[in-house]
Each structure stands twice: as structure tokens, then as C-alpha cells.
Structure 1
Amino acid sequence: RFLLEEDLDTVKGEVTGILDRLKRERTKFDYEIRDLMEVLPLMTERDAPVVKAVAQGIMAIFDREPDYVISPGTYDQKHIARIGHIYDCIAYGPGILDLAHRPDEWVGIADMVESAKVMAIGLNVLLRGTAAG
């Protein structure tokens, strides 16, 4: 995983540089790298309609501005943008981000309900132009 601002080839060069150094320094060390999947980091613009709509929902339910993060790992948003060419999409939902898709992941019922309310408000904003029901 790497930052949105980083270039993929630069990151790969840093990794192979470390491995090449280890190969020179340790006689029994060898390595081979094979790309199985490359998915670039992605972040939808903050002024995109879906971002602004969900932000309104977060403000209405949690009384605070949203945290804008690039989620670790690979998830549907990246595939929707890369394959479907729908770039104004986000990944949003309940739970603790660091536990997402881990063996001990869990989500509280109240968190799920609040998240559903945020998404309902976001849909209202997108479809009707208002957060009011």
C-alpha cells in the first residue's frame, strides 16, 4: 500500500532497491517479484455530488464534518472507477476501518443504523436536492 501522491514505479523501485541490497549483503538471500494485481490508490474529489451529499448526512447524524480518508486495501470503489469508469463514488459504511475485512471484524447494530441514516440522507440530497425527508 502506498499514498495517493506516490508514483507506482517509484514505490516499486524503493522495494526492489531494498531487496537488491539484501541480495548483495546476504549470500543466501534471493527474491523474485511477480505482480498479481495492481490497483492504484483512489480518492473522489471533495466537491463531487456524492461526497457532498454523504457529508451532509454525516453532519446531520453525527453533528461533525466527515473524515476524508483513503481506505487501506482494495475494495469495490476502486473497481467501479477503474473498470466501470464511474469516478464519483465513495466507500462509506459503519465499523472500525482498521478492522475492515479482518478475521476479528465486527460492526455494532447502532453503528449500522446510524450509517443507514447517513446514506438515506445522502440519497435524499442526490435525488431530491434536500436533506429533509
Structure 2
Amino acid sequence: TERQTISSLPPGYAGSNFCSEILVSADGRFVYAGNRLHDSIAVFAIGETGELTYASEEWTHGDYPRSFAFEPTGAFLYSCNQRADNIAVFRANRDTGQLDFTGHYTPVGNPSIIVFHDLADRKS
């Protein structure tokens, strides 16, 4: 049963779009949704009933955000900007969910997915 329909694009945006990654923050308070043609990541707060409320959006500082992921501490989000040939780094505000660009890029040809694994969790 459908509970809610909500756009990941800003009000009034009339252009085309393809969605990409959808992530839930480790603490379960925020949802992050990628917009490939809009080159943005939308942030939604998750209410007590599970309802989403638009919180903010951040430009990915690149083109065609195909995949993104939080590093193991949850403090930073890395966005694979596939057509820009880079991975951009954002600081995540744990109170608001807001993403803030750190100014750091890593050049990578055609990045399409990123995954982190905490080696400290590895069993001997």
C-alpha cells in the first residue's frame, strides 16, 4: 500500500530527471535521494510515523550523480559524478541532514558506484 508520494526535485522544476541512489542515514533520521539530470542530492527528514519531509538539497558539484555512499563513520558522503569523471566529498550535518561540499574532488574516470567497508569489522 502506498503511504506517500514525494518529489526529489525542487518545487517548480520542469526539466527531465533520472533518479539514482537512495540512502537512509545510519541513525534512520534522513533519506538521501540522487537526481542524475538535476545534478543534486535531495535530503528528507523521516518523521516519527515514517513520513518524509523535504529538508534540503545539495548540488553534487559534478554531472550525473550515479551513486553515493557514506563512509563508515557517517560524517562524510561521497558522490560518484559519472559524467564529470570525479567523486565529490560532502560533510553531513548529523542534526539537520544537510550536506556541505568540502571542496575536495577525486578524479576518477566514469565512476558509477562507491562502497565502503570498515576493515575494523573484519574477523581474523
TM-score range with shorter-chain normalisation? under 0.3
Q: TM-score, normalised by structure 2?
A: 0.25
Q: Name the one with the larger helix percent.
A: 1
Structure of higher CA gyration radius:
1
Q: TM-score, normalised by structure 1?
A: 0.24
Q: Name the one with the larger strand percent.
A: 2
Higher relative contact order (CA 8 A, sep 6+): 1
